[in-house]
Structure 1
Amino acid sequence: MATISPSRNIARPSAPPRRPSWDPFNVPRKHGSRTLLPSSMERQVAAASGFYQGLHECHEKPTQRWRSSQSSNNRKLEHFWRLELDNNNTEKEIAILDNLVCASSAQQQQKQTGMRPRPQRIILVRHGQSEGNIDEGAYTIIPDSKIALTEVGWKQAVLCGKKIRKIIENDDVDDWQVYFYVSPYRRTLQTLRGIGMAFERERIAGVREEPRLREQDFGNFQNRERMQLQKAARIRYGRFFYRFPNGESVADVYDRITGFRETLRADIDVGRFQRPEVCSKSMNLIIVSHGLALRVFLMRWYKWTVEQFEGLHNFGNTGMLVMQLGPGGRYSLTMHHTADELHSFGLTDTMIADQEWQKRAQPGDLNPAWQTSGPSFFRHFDAMEQGIDLEEIPPDIIRIETLESSTEIM
């Protein structure tokens, strides 16, 4: 097994008689292994999550304890606890230590890479009621990007800001802030201003206008009668792939939202919405956009299929969905919303089950039970179990009787 010595930056006394020599971040996940608890930082992580308490229930007296002296750069004293377990480790012991090492490794990686804490939540907000929501004829004389909020839409935006603030204040922390990403359309910018009425200057960390969050392009100065025909054709053709003349398909929106998602993930990783001296865990990102763009964002983030996307319902005006950070470091809709709320939005039981998995998973984990990971695309597994002839042509395959085949039959 690989050997890792303590950090070279730490001036340490002579080693204890039986100082363990195992790798603290490459611990075999099996019974009979030796495991390391590296430092006071990891003990704090463990204490916060209950693992350290569970460890003492299993081992009242650790086999060895070794304490280092103060480091050469005058940093505070680091403590290393090294535990050598018997070969008769219980599953409870292994689970406690596995979870501790995972949490410690994640925190150590964040420290080494300089990554900031992830925002507490990402809140998706559709714009308030607009002229176009009241009268589709507005699109025939006003560019889509210049459609404004109605008075009702403005009041909705102000109320939405108050709701968001209440959600954040329920965290019971003092250093929280909000950062906005907003579509450049008039109605979304006005909605942003209305939401912002709920926050003081020091609470708003920043705003970024993001053109990739704009509404689906339906074409310039839409003809009302022609648009009705186009929307009817879209239903027959398929909502995701139908492209409006001089406009976009949902697939086109998906492509630009993919670019925005990568930008957002990079911003989250480097903490671009916080000042260099700030490292707050209480940041809240708010995306103010359009109903379809937000649904596509969720589709792209959670890797939903086209079929799953087409089962979703549009956001209401100033409707919200909250992606909240789970204990593992990933965002889940079930951290804030109930299953009934997600069902009403159009999520299936399978999609909600995946959100429950997202709640506890860590970044980089893969859900083996998630249907879009592979197995759901194949049907021959069930056929084999049911004894169905695999050579038989499936019923959804189009059969065309050619002249050659008909001659052979005769």
Structure 2
Amino acid sequence: MAQLQSLWIVRHGESAGNVLAYEAEAAGAELIDVPDRDPDVALSPTGRAQAEATARWFAALPEAERPEVVVVSPYLRTRQTAEPILAALGLPTRRDERLRDRELGVLDRLTSHGVRARMPQEAQRRDRLGKFYYRPPGGESWADVALRLRSLLGDLRRDHAGRRVLLVGHEALIFLLRYLLEELDEAALIALTRREVVGNCSVSGWRCGPDGRFTGVLFNHIDHLREQGTAATSEEEIDAEPV
């Protein structure tokens, strides 16, 4: 079976939506006051600085390790994150809607408190089904996102066999790539999501061995942001996903 040489993924930089979500959660509000559609939410000034720092990190890699192909979520915040990386590597962008963020349906823009206050039955249904299989009306479960990632991985293996590929996407995708590439089960994935907060502009990566199995080399790496003074605290990196 055709395989990639290596696979990287970068979470987008801090967005205006991340900032507003943190403020809403901290204030105990029910609604995150984001005026834009989720695909149109832009990076914050901090997010832009994080993207530049991440571009410098990739440019500093040995030439034999740098990505050769970059595939990006079509959302604005991911495209803006990818721009300096693509410029640093001298690569064109490829967009794929399968890298979009998880769709929250009727829960869109609600905080955790807002879901329980306005949609208590949905909160109870989510508690019963669990994080992985719960699908909000009009939205996606984590299992749904895993399915589109499986499709994308199949295409990447076929179209870019033997090459080094970088994805630029969203937090749930990073957890689910690890779930798929390292063959985790549901319990291990959920434990990972409780233990880790995936940082904005963090870098995660895997190498593929001769046996076709992926081995992690980095996960949630943000040293390049700390060095530049652009790393957010774990509280500032709060995910806008309410449940």
Does residue 241 (structure 1) correspond to residue 127 (structure 2)? The answer is no
Does residue 316 (structure 1) correspond to residue 175 (structure 2)? The answer is no
Once superposed, what is the RMSD of the aligned Cα atoms?
2.9
1:7-406 residue pairs with structure 2 within 5 A? 119-136=4-21, 140-169=34-63, 171=64, 178-199=68-89, 201=90, 204=91, 206-219=92-105, 222=108, 224=110, 227-229=114-116, 232-233=123-124, 234-269=126-161, 283-312=163-192, 313-326=196-209, 330-333=213-216, 336-337=217-218
Amino acid of the structure 1 residue aligned with 2:202: G
What is the distance in 2 between the residues matched to 1:295 and 1:311?
11
The 1:294/1:124 distance shift into structure 2, 3 A limit, reads same
The TM-score, its normalising length taken from structure 1, stands at 0.44
Residue 178 of structure 1 and its aligned partner are, at CA, apart by 2.4
Q: How many residues align?
A: 202
Q: Is contact 2:10-2:168 (8 Å) kept?
A: yes
Q: Is contact 1:185-1:214 (8 Å) kept?
A: yes
Q: Is contact 1:126-1:294 (8 Å) kept?
A: yes
Q: Is contact 1:155-1:194 (8 Å) kept?
A: no
Higher relative contact order (CA 8 A, sep 6+): 2
Q: Is contact 1:216-1:248 (8 Å) kept?
A: yes
Residue 177 of structure 1 and its aligned partner are, at CA, apart by 5.5
Amino acid of the structure 2 residue aligned with 1:134: V
Q: Deviations over 1:87-144 (max 9, x none)?
A: xxxxxxxxxxxxxxxxxxxxxxx9xxxx7xx654211110000011111255653211
**Any idea what SS the aligned residue of 2:68 has?**
strand
Amino acid of the structure 1 residue aligned with 2:169: S
What is the distance in 2 between the residues matched to 1:181 and 1:223?
27
- Structure 1 unaligned regions, length at least 5: 1-109, 272-282, 343-410
Q: Is contact 1:295-1:314 (8 Å) kept?
A: no
Larger radius of gyration: 1
Q: Is contact 2:101-2:172 (8 Å) kept?
A: yes
What is the distance in 2 between the residues matched to 1:155 and 1:220?
33
What is the distance in 2 between the residues matched to 1:132 and 1:150?
9
Q: Deviations over 1:179-211 (max 9, x none)?
A: 101111111111111322423x3xx2x432110
What is the distance in 2 between the residues matched to 1:291 and 1:221?
17
What is the distance in 2 between the residues matched to 1:177 and 1:258?
20
Q: Deviations over 1:42-86 (max 9, x none)?
A: xxxxxxxxxxxxxxxxxxxxxxxxxxxxxxxxxxxxxxxxxxxxx
The 1:327/1:130 distance shift into structure 2, 3 A limit, reads same
What is the distance in 2 between the residues matched to 1:296 and 1:142?
26
What is the distance in 1 between the residues matched to 2:85 and 2:69?
12
Residue 220 of structure 1 and its aligned partner are, at CA, apart by 6.1
Q: Deviations over 1:148-196 (max 9, x none)?
A: 1001001101101111222334x5x8xx652101111111111111322
What is the distance in 1 between the residues matched to 2:79 and 2:209?
30
**Any idea what SS the aligned residue of 1:311 has?**
helix
- Structure 2 unaligned regions, length at least 5: 22-30, 221-243
Q: Deviations over 1:301-335 (max 9, x none)?
A: 232111111112342101111112446564311xx
